[in-house]
Amino acid sequence: MRFKLCTALVLAASSLLAPVTYADTNMEQSYAEWPSYAASDLELKVDGSGTHFTLWSPKADAVEVRLYDTDRNTPAVETLKMHKSDNGTWRVSVPEKLYGKFYTFAVTVDGHQLDETPGVWAKAVGTNGHRAAIIDFANTNPEGWENDRGPVIENITDAVLYEMHHRDMSMHPSSGIVHKGKFLAMTEPMTTSPEGASTGIDHLKELGVTHVHILPSYDYNSVDESNLPANQYNWGYDPYNYNAPEGSYSTDPGNPEARVREMKQMVKALHDAGIGVVMDVVYNHTANNDDSNFSLTAPGYYYRHRADGSYSDASGCGNETASERQQMRDFIINSVKYWAQEYHIDGFRFDLMAIHDIETMNEVAAALKEINPSIFVYGEGWTAGDSPLPAEQRALKENVAKMKDIAVFSDDIRDAIKGHYSNAADPGFATGKPGNEETVKIGIVGATAHPQVDYSKGNNSKFPYASAPTQIVNYVSCHDDLMLTDKLAKSMPGSTEAERQRAARLAQTIVFTSQGTPFMWSGEEIFRDKKGVHNSYKSPDSINAIDWSLKTKNADQFEYYKNLIRLRREHPAFRMTTAEDVARNIVFDKVSTPNIISYSIKNNAGGDAWKEIKLVFNGSKEAYTAKIPKGEWTVVAYDGSINPDGLFTTKGGTMDVPATSALILARVK
Ligand code: CA
């Protein structure tokens, strides 16, 4: 999420409200003195002795719980006064198990009662998430849940990440999927396009990715769950309830158990298919300011402010949260732990991660590794605006060496391969623009220190910021900006579709053979586009949904991606885990021709069966004659074709590398 997706909404909302500002410079400093409370009984606990409510709100004058019979439009059936308790909490208990009821908190601060809120720890909610629900989570587990496990991976670099939105994957009539736009879409086996190609989960299995990265799936604000026939679309970067699934992806948003159960069913189906689930998490800002659940429980505390008391805005969405404060830090850590434990989530992608502080991110990674060593964390190592948090404390790309178990997106390789993200017409290395070679090499070595890579020539970064390739996620395209297909259309004027498909193959071949973890955007493997829309966060399905008929039309493209992924997964040489191995095993050839990169991965790197792999990338418009040392070589990629088992053999000498293509050869001795 880079764009100011929600600024307009925020401004509109704020203009209706009296300017209530709970923070000034002195407050900002005193927040550090507030007590904190992070036990798992926060807000709601049901046990043998009844139902227990615990709200953290240190500066409240009074707090009450309101109980409801339904999720909306009905009056409270009971109001319970809470009493002040330990560590800034307020508590009240009743002896009954209130399963089936809904509740809100109403906090009084400085003499006035704030609007009701479901709290910040609502784990189940009704329609539009305004009321929290009391459910028995044991009833939400699909059959076999206790034995459900995600894929075991040793290092994040063993993952192949596939970023997807629930609606994109299933909404198009050609998906053949029944539960269109729902969590359940990914539970349907044997779905096919009208042409008979597999779609949905079977498509993912066929493609060979290891993990899906699902766009925000917590309860977000923008889609009206009470009006699902309106078929609204949103990416979901406008968090409302962080610890409950989004209702519009369930078959029944009014039934609090449905969204929980159906999300678990999705996770289970993907796990059964051998595919892990990464969640996109957006703790850096909330959809609302003064009327967010944070503000309605502990006004001011959870956010950073400017000197004048206004909300600071490193997210570009009207506010930014304050991870350096204990209660917020604990909230983030316990929230991801909750998703990992209750929903068996296998990884987390942090939106605008640099809004968070380094210490928080390190604690997040450590807490998750303790639950399951296969869980990994990566994020956007940047902010969308300035922050009061000092740069040296931010979880920035440039600071990733201080975050051992965190990876960051490489905007270096992204922009160098395809051209700058913000200039549609700008081509890159793969589309014939010279001057990007050194930045692509930064990507190839996973932004680690390498004796043959001159970081002073890097377009975006000027020093080897990663201490290991496990800290880098390589990509050319994601949900943000023009997706690769559209970027190629804008930056290759006068080109044919076949030429653009060649460029896409070259671009992704660089990504998938580079050190680090490869990441792709859903549908690129069948060359779908988004009709040139660069910020489709609320565009209709006609822009966003994948037309699965393209899988047959572009069958060669799909075959290429499939084989490219297989090549990577079969060869640990592309998945080295230390900077030392990368520096020792990767040797670049001296090349003076623009838009050519030629290098070898030597020494059976990573324990690979292949002694040496030679890769030549030709991003120019002309064929290039490569010198290949004498030997028994198997050619695995040539002229837009790829086969990990080999296309043909050669004894070395010279080889033509046709324009806009990758040559990959391997020898076992
Ligand atoms: Ca929602």
* pLDDT one-digit tens code per residue, 192-244: 999 999 999 999 999 999 999 999 999 999 999 999 999 999 999 999 999 99
Mean pLDDT across 659-667: 98
User: pLDDT tens, 90-112?
Assistant: 999 999 999 999 999 999 999 99
pLDDT, position 15 = 35
- Determine contact, residues 255/241, Cβ cutoff 8 Å: no
Residue that is written with structure tokens 């990629």 in the block: 637
Q: Average pLDDT of the chain?
A: 95
User: What's the pLDDT band for 8 if we cut at 50, 70, 90?
Assistant: very low
Token pair belonging to 657: 């590398």
User: pLDDT tens, 421-442?
Assistant: 999 999 999 999 999 999 999 9
pLDDT, position 7 = 36
Which residues, listed in sequence order, are joined to residue 46 by a DSSP beta bridge? 51
- Percent of the chain scored above 90 by pLDDT? 96
Whether residue 530 is predicted with pLDDT greater than 60 in this model: the reply is: yes
3-state secondary structure 487-511: HHHHHCCCCCHHHHHHHHHHHHHHH
Q: What is the pTM of this model?
A: 0.96
Mean pLDDT across 323-332: 98
Whether residue 420 is predicted with pLDDT greater than 70 in this model: the reply is: yes
Determine the distance separating the centroid of ligand 1 and the alpha carbon of 130, expressed in angstroms.
9
Determine the distance separating the centroid of ligand 1 and the alpha carbon of 305, expressed in angstroms.
27
pLDDT, position 166 = 97
Determine the distance separating the centroid of ligand 1 and the alpha carbon of 325, expressed in angstroms.
27
Q: Report the distance separating Cα 204 and Cα 527, nearest Å.
A: 15
pLDDT, position 1 = 62
Residue 170, classed as helix, strand or coil, is helix
Mean pLDDT across 150-169: 98
Whether residue 13 is predicted with pLDDT greater than 80 in this model: the reply is: no
Q: Any residues with CB less than 8 A from the CB of 146 and at least 6 apart, and which?
A: none
Determine the distance separating the centroid of ligand 1 and the alpha carbon of 342, expressed in angstroms.
19
Whether residue 12 is predicted with pLDDT greater than 50 in this model: the reply is: no
pLDDT, position 24 = 53
Mean pLDDT across 53-82: 98
User: pLDDT tens, 440-465?
Assistant: 999 999 999 999 999 999 999 999 99
Mean pLDDT across 28-54: 95
Determine the distance separating the centroid of ligand 1 and the alpha carbon of 319, expressed in angstroms.
19
Q: How many residues appear in the chain?
A: 669
User: pLDDT tens, 263-287?
Assistant: 999 999 999 999 999 999 999 999 9
Determine the distance separating the centroid of ligand 1 and the alpha carbon of 165, expressed in angstroms.
15
Q: Cβ of 589: how many Cβ atoms within 10 Å?
A: 15
Determine the distance separating the centroid of ligand 1 and the alpha carbon of 206, expressed in angstroms.
32
Determine the distance separating the centroid of ligand 1 and the alpha carbon of 284, expressed in angstroms.
18
Token pair belonging to 182: 């729902």
Q: Which residues are catalytic?
A: 351, 380
pLDDT, position 608 = 98
Token pair belonging to 582: 């990368």
Determine the distance separating the centroid of ligand 1 and the alpha carbon of 505, expressed in angstroms.
37
- Rounded to whole angstroms, what are the CA distances from 438 to 470, 478, 545, 598? 20, 23, 36, 12
Q: Report the distance separating Cα 93 and Cα 330, nearest Å.
A: 24
Residue 131 sits at the vertex; the CA angle it makes with 12 and 213, to the nearest 5 degrees, is: 75
pLDDT, position 383 = 98
Residue 383, classed as helix, strand or coil, is coil
Determine the distance separating the centroid of ligand 1 and the alpha carbon of 127, expressed in angstroms.
8
Token pair belonging to 523: 């549908």
